[in-house]
Amino acid sequence: MPELKGQVAVVTGASSGLGEATAVRLGQLGARVALLARSEAGLDRVAARISGSGGAAFTLPADLADPDAAVAAIERLVSGSGPPRVLVNAAATDAPGPAEEVPVADWQRVMAVNLTAPFLLSRAVFPHMRAAGGGTIVNVSSVTGRRGWVNASAYCATKFGLTGLTQALAAEGAPHSIRVVCLYPGAMATHWGTWNPADRGQPSRAGPEDALRPEDVAGYIAWLVCAPADRGGGRPDLRTRLALTDRRVASSSTTRPARVE
């Protein structure tokens, strides 16, 4: 029997890549999936994919760089479909290049999408999860959230910041059975490695032998969402740092956690 039957789950970045894979997997488990991203055409395609497999999905087109749009998307969701019990913050963007050459506007957009949006969306769903008796928030970070990389100052800063946000939210949510976790995947076989958005429709350059399949990471996210509330340790700080760094870990993580730090 589907473990999320009837529950509303929000997935950001749901028009492609890991967000799409996660939305599809949660739909297979019975969730009513709210798809949030900028691309209306991409969201419609994913919604059709989920509904075509017998699931339920609806679109919430919004630019997460716009704080008002992010909050309004949750308000539309709650008024039209009910409060969410699951939030997966999978959307991300970047402004690659040497720090001294990154335009301030580009830095601010990365901050808005990668860090401010997860904060705003989490803040918006928290009271609904608390009233419902609990919920799960999954923040997708990166290995760059544990070690800085050259020419990725904005991206790394937001992913390090996501760790602190996750730990704070986990501590605040624990008394209300709201679980908040942070994943640190390695390179995935998506179009993320193509910095120019116009090129992301091209086939991925990463082969399966040296990149994580988004479906594997999505399976781990689904495991976390469906796991018992106390899985991963009794203290909030032990439940917030979960790492996937290679394909073997991702492949086995649908049945058990790979590592809890």
pTM above 0.75, yes or no: yes
Residues labelled as active-site residues: 155
pLDDT tens digits, 4-38: 999 999 999 999 999 999 999 999 999 999 999 99
Q: Which among 138, 95, 144, 158 has a CA at the least distance from the CA of 245? A: 144
pLDDT of 199 > 70? The answer is no
3-class DSSP state of 245: coil
pLDDT tens digits, 136-182: 999 999 988 998 989 999 999 999 999 999 999 999 999 999 999 99
- Separation between Cα atoms, residue 79 and residue 129, nearest integer Å: 15
pLDDT of 126 > 90? The answer is yes
Structure tokens at 173: 């949510």
pLDDT of 198 > 50? The answer is no
